[in-house]
Amino acid sequence: MKKVGLWIATCVILLPLFSAGQGSEKKERPLSPSEKMDKLFDFWNRLDQPGFAVVVVKEGQVLYQKVFGLACQEHGVAITPNTVFNIATAAKPFVGQAVALLEKQGKLSLDDDVRKHIPEFPDFSIPVKLRHLLFQTSGLRDWLSVLQLSGRDKEEVTFEQVLKIVKAQKQPAFPPGDRFQDSNTNYDLLAETIKRVSGRPFSDWSWENIFKPLKMTRTQFRDNYRSILDDQAFTYNFTRREYLRGIDNLSLAGSHSLFASIADLSKWLLNLETGQVGGQDIVAKMFTAGRLNNGQSSGFGYGLKIETGPGRPQVSQTGNWAGSGAVLAYFPDLKFGFALLANWDYTPVDGFVQGIIESYLPAAAEPEKKSPPTEAKKAVKVSPEKLDSYAGDYRLAPGQVFAISRAGDHLILSVPGAKFPLTALSETEFLLAVADARITFQKNKEGKVQQFVWKQGGDEQTAPKIVLVKPTPQELQEFAGSFFNAELDLRYAVELRGDTLIVKAPGQNDIRLAPDEKDHFTTSSRVLPMVIFQRDGQNRVIGFIIDSDPVRDLVFKKNSLPTGN
Q: Using alpha carbons, select from 425, 453, 431, 459 the residue that is nearest to residue 441.
A: 453
Tell me the C-alpha to C-alpha distance, in Å, between residue 399 and each of 144, 171, 395, 465.
Answer: 22, 29, 8, 14
CB 108 within 8 Å of CB 517: no
Task: Catalogue all structural domains in the chain, each as residue range(s) with its CATH number.
Answer: 65-360 (3.40.710.10), 374-466 (2.40.128.50), 473-558 (2.40.128.50)
Q: Are 248 and 62 in contact (CB under 8 A)?
A: no
Question: What tens digit of pLDDT does each residue of 37-77 get?
Answer: 999 999 999 999 999 999 999 999 999 999 999 999 999 99
Using 50 as the pLDDT threshold, list the residues of the chain that sit under it. 1-25, 369, 371-375, 561, 563-565
The secondary structure of 503-539 as a DSSP string is EE-TTS--EEEEE-BTTEEE-S-SS-SEEEEEE-TTS
What is d(CA 189, CA 129) in angstroms, rounded to the nearest whole number?
11
pLDDT at 559: 84
Question: Does residue 41 sit in helix, strand or coil?
Answer: coil
- What is the per-residue pLDDT across 415-467, written as a single tens digit (0 to 9) for each? 888 999 999 999 999 999 998 899 999 999 999 999 999 998 777 899 999 99
Q: Cβ-count burial of 304 within 10 angstroms (0-12 exposed, 13-18 middle, 19+ buried)?
A: buried
CA atoms of 123 and 489, how far apart (whole Å):
21
Contact 163, 120 (CB under 8 A): yes
CA distances from 257 to 55, 219, 225, 252 (A): 21, 11, 8, 6
Task: Give the residues across from 442 on adjacent strands.
Answer: 451
pLDDT computed for residue 310 by the predictor:
60
What sections of 108-183 are H helices per DSSP? 114-117, 130-134, 143-149, 159-168
Residues 254 and 95: beta-carbon distance below 8 Å: yes
* Whether 564 contacts 553, CB under 8 Å: no
Output Rg (C-alpha) for the chain, integer angstroms. Answer: 26
How are beta strands 511-515 and 520-522 bridged, if at all?
antiparallel
What is the distance between the terminal CA atoms of the chain, rounded to a whole angstrom? 46
Report the C-alpha dihedral over residues 15, 16, 17, 22, rounded to 10 degrees. 90
Burial class from Cβ neighbours inside 10 Å (0-12, 13-18, 19+) for residue 179 reads middle
Q: What contacts 533, CB < 8 A, 6 or more positions away?
A: 479, 519, 520, 521, 541, 543, 544
Helices (H), 275-405: 280-286, 353-360, 384-390
Amino acid at 230: D
Give CA–CA dist 250/219, Å, rounded: 17
